[in-house]
Amino acid sequence: MAFHANTNWEFQTGGNNANGGGFRSDSGGTDYPLANTTFSYTDAVVQAVTTDCASALRAFVAADVGNIFNVTSGGTVQRAQIISVAAGVATFDKSMGTATNTCVGTLGGALAVPTDALLELSVAGNTWWLKGAVTYTLTGSVDMTAAGTTANNVVIAGYNTTRGDNPALANRPTITCAANTFYVGTSWTTKNLIITGTAISAILVRIQNTTKNCKVTNSSASAGRNAINSTDSRSMVFWCEAISTNGNGIKLASGSASQCHVHNSATGIYVDSSPTTIVNNIVNACSSVAVDLQVNGNVFIYGNTLYGAETPIGTGISGATSPTQKIIQNIIYGFVTGINITTAYTDHVIDLNDFYNNTADVANVTKGPNDIALNPQFVTVGNQGSDLCTNGILWTGATGATPPTGWAVKTAGTFTITAGGQAGDYCRIAHNGTNANPEISFAITTTVGKSYAITYYAQKGTATDATAKVGTTSGGTELGITKTHADVDWNTQKVITFEATATTIYFSVGATTSTSAQYSMIDTVTIYEQGEDFTPGANMKLTIDWTKMGL
């Protein structure tokens, strides 16, 4: 027999997955998992009616009703819910074994960490609560088949101190997945969580799902991975933050994304099916594309702020075809190309957008008659404060085995300041005849959760290539950022954006070579904290006249 729909399950840092873990909220009993109260049984004897158990050591009481008993030996190994208590005898929702069996296990108590086996106990209406601004580390992959219903989702939700307090920012619980999958079943709501991982998708949500108030980060060094992967047209990603260092912040197989902040990703929002709605999101600091439309169907893109950088990068909206795409009332700022639809049809709608600070506003499509080019006067964007790299332009201190002032040696080499850089002298990083792949690093003092941008120029010189990395250790790639550059001139500025996960982040540069005296070249390094208040100024008064759209 399945558990009651009104069952609440509880995870806490002091919990144990051997505990009962669940409580029926309308049972009239006491919620033991919420207080992490446990009762251990070694003598719960199955009665003649095998749904009943009695104990001489601790008689069952009325407060036990609604709680779950996790039987680990003696009777049927299972979790069973108490539905009533009379004269010290508990009646459960299922048979406890064979009469006279002695059940051993734990009544009540919170659970410790989500597992696939636990979450598969779900029925429509259940809620799985995770308490506190703490970290729950998965011990294996989760791929749920248990489903809710359209009218009665299963919910997995974080809270800080009181269930339903809807925590924000760092007050949310964190689920650390590492390389484990976290795939949510049909008709679930996932909310108020921080989720980190490196699998193909940090979180994958299926049919009729809602993902709300979650921050999801995929820090994999592999390309094409997803932070949030929403796989159905009836699913919604709402009020979420998404980062995928080398992949897609949000991947939509139709469905919708609204009021989300997607940043520091290769691609912000990737769409591969329709119908899809992308409304009122902020997408910024994505190195390749803010919104990538790989779909031949209905897509509605409205009211978004798409921001590349003050020095334009990437593409705002990219797509293969656009038979029925409507791109209306968006701010498209700071891209090499604002909108590039390679095969555009005559019935697409692009209008009432603000294009500003793009190298080219559009390619292969035509702007609408009501599009404008007005500085949106964001409150705080772009570089903030002073350059955090104190020695990356004028270069001082490098000589022989000694690195430039302020930099540290990760792998020994020969370091010299040489004329002929992008702006004055440059730093040469050379093989010293002993150590392959010489490398130096610069420690950046950062604020956790803030975004930063590194700009620099690099040439491979005589080495195989020049390298650049960002991590939490010198020479490390913990943020999933590794760049190789085979440039032979100073023509192209490099840009790396990242969100700080520690108070010290390291930018490391080097040369790929095992040959004595071969070198790479680095110049004009700047590191700035980035402002992310995209509230436009009072001059932005975009309005929609739908009669002009033909909609």
Contact 519, 487 (CB under 8 A): no
DSSP H or E segment with residue 117: helix 116-119
Contact 493, 456 (CB under 8 A): yes
Q: Among 351, 355, 354, which Cα is nearest to 367's?
A: 351
| Residue position matching structure tokens 């039987």 | 71
What distance in Å separates the CA atoms of residue 327 and residue 253, rounded to the nearest whole number? 18
Between strands 226-230 and 241-244, the pairing is unpaired
Rounded to the nearest angstrom, the gap between the alpha carbon of residue 86 and the centroid of all alpha carbons in its chain is 49
CA angle 431, 432, 435 (to 5 degrees): 75
pLDDT at 232: 78
pLDDT by position in tens, the chain (length 551): 689 999 999 999 999 999 999 999 999 999 999 999 999 999 999 999 999 999 999 999 999 999 999 999 999 999 999 999 999 999 999 999 999 999 999 999 999 999 999 999 999 999 999 999 999 999 999 999 999 999 999 999 999 999 999 999 999 999 999 999 999 999 999 999 999 999 999 999 988 899 999 999 999 999 999 999 998 778 899 999 999 999 999 999 889 999 999 999 999 999 988 889 999 999 999 999 999 998 877 899 999 999 999 989 999 999 876 557 899 999 999 999 999 988 766 667 899 999 999 999 999 888 999 999 999 999 999 999 999 999 999 999 999 999 999 999 999 999 999 999 999 999 999 999 999 999 999 999 999 999 999 999 999 999 999 999 999 999 999 999 999 999 999 999 999 999 999 999 999 999 999 999 999 999 999 999 999 889 888 777 554 444 443 33
Q: Where in the chain is the domain with CATH 2.60.120.260?
A: 407-533
In single-letter form, the type of residue at position 169 comes to L
Q: CA 238, 243, 244, 248 torsion: positive or negative? A: positive
Residues 6+ apart with CB under 8 A from 491: none
Tens-digit pLDDT profile for residues 235-263:
899 999 999 999 999 999 889 999 999 99
Tell me the two tokens of residue 269.
């929002």
Span 146-157+184-380 CATH architecture: 3 Solenoid (2.160)
What distance in Å separates the CA atoms of residue 122 and residue 115, rounded to the nearest whole number? 12
CA angle 342, 347, 348 (to 5 degrees): 55
pTM of the entire predicted model: 0.92
Rounded to the nearest angstrom, the gap between the alpha carbon of residue 452 and the centroid of all alpha carbons in its chain is 17
pLDDT at 546: 40
CATH code: domain 407-533 is: 2.60.120.260
Tens-digit pLDDT profile for residues 190-231:
999 999 999 999 999 988 899 999 999 999 999 999 999 998
φ, ψ at 384 (rounded to 5°): -125, 140
Dihedral of the alpha carbons of 113, 118, 119, 125, in degrees to the nearest 10 = -110
